[in-house]
Structure 1
Amino acid sequence: MTVTPLGIPRRLLEFTLDGKPVRATEGSTILDACRTAGKDIPTLCHGDTRIPEALETPETPKGTCRLCVVEVAGASTLVAACSREARPGMEVRTDTDRARHSRKVVLELLASGVDLSTTPRIAGWIEEYGAEPDRFGPDAARLDEGPRVDNDLYVRDHDKCVLCYRCVDACGGRGRHTFATSVVGRGFAARVAVEQDAPLPESACVYCGNCVEVCPTGALSFRSEFDMRAAGTWDESAQTGTTTTCAYCGVGCRLTLHVQDNEIVKVTSPPDDPVTHGNLCIKGRFGYQHGQNRD
């Protein structure tokens, strides 16, 4: 008989969310409680680590994008819902004029300086909050570097990066422990880069692709997706996903094969899988060609 430890039980706390009493697990954030209550709070930088050892010590949210700001009674400023812990008796309002105006301005600033064309849901948020990124004019600061295509597996496009640090965490101490990437530069020149800003094949990168998995904007993308987008053939609505088990070793990692026109176009892993937690190695994520070799 296998006994599964349940961990330390956590109490429930009660607070007010948009005028209604809600309950949340002790230690959860306002954003967690909002999602449990069905509130759609926009966010780009929020994402949990997927390494089992790191899950034992909760990750400190970066709170960099500031899209999830809400009003808390008694607080002089808006607070980031992803990093503020829920407290008993707290009064939270998510849809006030002040919060909506802040999200609108943040969306305008992001969209005026970053290419968000491949960011899921961003067009809907811009419309919902009435954001007008073009009001800053054509001289808004951009990197304008263009994509870096220096290997056959994935592409880096700094023009789409919002510096959320999720890829750095996935590569570093809360992920692969490769530490191939970090944030370099300051101000508008800041970007995520490998050591000496070298080409990827000359770096410590092990091509696990876990950074691509967590990127929220498409600044990191599979080479297959990049090439198909450039050719105008990428169509997510026509893709199907099939979850299977990786055949390379005996670990039993689960893969989701994304197929379009009877061809595998990319491979991901279910984030809730007890074996991988969304992580894969280079073979599991990129070594799928043998499964569709027509020769």
Structure 2
Amino acid sequence: MVELEVDGQPVRVFEGQTILDACRRLGIDTPTLCYGETLEPANACRVCVVELEGARVLAPACSRPAEEGMKVRTDSERVRLSRRLVLELLASSVDLSTTSVAPGYLERYDAEPERFGPQAPPDADRDRKRTGAHAEPDGQTAATVHAPVKVDNELYVRDYSKCILCYKCVDACGEQYQNTFAIHVAGRGFDARISTEYVAELPESACVYCGNCIAVCPTGALMFRSEHELREAGEWREGEQTVTQTICPYCGVGCTLELHVQDNEIVKVTSPDDHDVTRGNLCIKGRFGFQHVHHREA
């Protein structure tokens, strides 16, 4: 065990645990976007930064190990300013409307994304010049705020105008879980974007449609097609949905499914992060093989 001080409160955590673990042990709500309970920290969004006594720079709470004698401040003026600026930059450049925690964070830190001006309109010529051979077929890239929604399969959609480059989908598809490596980050700097190999359409890529990337996406950039279509029609009512746990019937592994039901129809399937078997992950059958339930004979 190591003992440290967070906002003047002493706390003990196991060696190897992070500052974020210490904050949660004390009940201190530390904002996170790119952090995932089942993934290694990517240190991408920087919303969780905290101030360490004696340190020159702010530290990401999600990945910085707790150390003996540390003195941490989670709500200092410097921390609040940093978090506010990060949220403003994100909200002014991508669509956070389907990010469940974003509105609360923006209000909590008095963020004003509009002070950076209106969102830039799409400019295909600019994008082609910036990305060259890596340009998307429609002339847009994920770095463009108004990138069109990609609907090229029956199971899920990709809306990169909501992508904050948190890398969670890349990690879930890669060595941390699926080991499919169907998606990765292409480009650098402002041209960085999530992409399939050679910008192939999803059905022609290495994707096995496990949907684990959807499960970890914090912004809705990756979304069930059923959910996307309901949102587009203004019929998505999450507050009215019921969630029922059951065991996947397709094999003997015993994965736990969470069936999200609206108007007596399954609209999506998830799995709990703390389940010993799945850790939130499923295969294509478990996550998407529910349509047969709706085909009832008269």
**How many residues get paired?**
275
Task: Say whether the 8 Å CA contact 2:210–2:282 is kept in structure 1.
Answer: yes
Corresponding residue for residue 32 of structure 2? 43
Residues in 2 aligned to 1:215 and 1:32: alpha-carbon distance in whole angstroms:
21
Corresponding residue for residue 5 of structure 2? 16
Corresponding residue for residue 203 of structure 2? 201
Runs in 1 of length 4+ with deviation above 4 angstroms? none
**Unaligned 5+ runs, structure 1:** 1-11, 51-58
Which among 39, 64, 71 is matched to residue 44 of structure 2?
Answer: 64
- Aligned partner of residue 159 in structure 1, secondary structure: helix
Residues in 1 aligned to 2:38 and 2:28: alpha-carbon distance in whole angstroms:
22
Residues in 2 aligned to 1:143 and 1:186: alpha-carbon distance in whole angstroms:
16
**Which amino acid is the alignment partner of residue 87 of structure 1?**
E
Residues 71-123 of structure 1 show CA distances to partners (whole Å, capped at 9, x for unaligned) of 10010111111111100100001010110011000000000001101001101
Task: Say whether the 8 Å CA contact 1:143–1:189 is kept in structure 2.
Answer: no
Deviation at 1:185, TM superposition (A): 1.4
Residues 219-238 of structure 1 show CA distances to partners (whole Å, capped at 9, x for unaligned) of 00000000000000001100
Residues 183-238 of structure 1 show CA distances to partners (whole Å, capped at 9, x for unaligned) of 00122221111111111001000000000000001000000000000000001100
**1:20-99 alignment, distance < 5 Å:** 20-49=9-38, 59=40, 61-99=41-79
Which among 227, 237, 252 is matched to residue 225 of structure 1?
Answer: 227
Residues in 1 aligned to 2:180 and 2:276: alpha-carbon distance in whole angstroms:
22
Corresponding residue for residue 6 of structure 1? none
Deviation at 1:289, TM superposition (A): 1.3
Corresponding residue for residue 91 of structure 2? 111
**Which amino acid is the alignment partner of residue 169 of structure 2?**
C
Which among 224, 228, 250 is matched to residue 248 of structure 1?
Answer: 250
**Which amino acid is the alignment partner of residue 24 of structure 1?**
V
Corresponding residue for residue 237 of structure 1? 239
Corresponding residue for residue 114 of structure 2? 134
Let me know the Cα RMSD of the aligned residues: 1.2
Deviation at 1:292, TM superposition (A): 2.4
- Aligned partner of residue 193 in structure 1, secondary structure: strand
Q: What TM-score does the superposition give when structure 1 sets the normalisation length? A: 0.91
For structure 1, which segment, 132-141 or 122-131, has the greater mean C-alpha deviation from structure 2 after superposition? 132-141
Deviation at 1:139, TM superposition (A): 4.8
**Unaligned 5+ runs, structure 2:** 121-142
Deviation at 1:35, TM superposition (A): 1.1
Task: Say whether the 8 Å CA contact 2:38–2:273 is kept in structure 1.
Answer: no
Task: Say whether the 8 Å CA contact 2:92–2:119 is kept in structure 1.
Answer: no
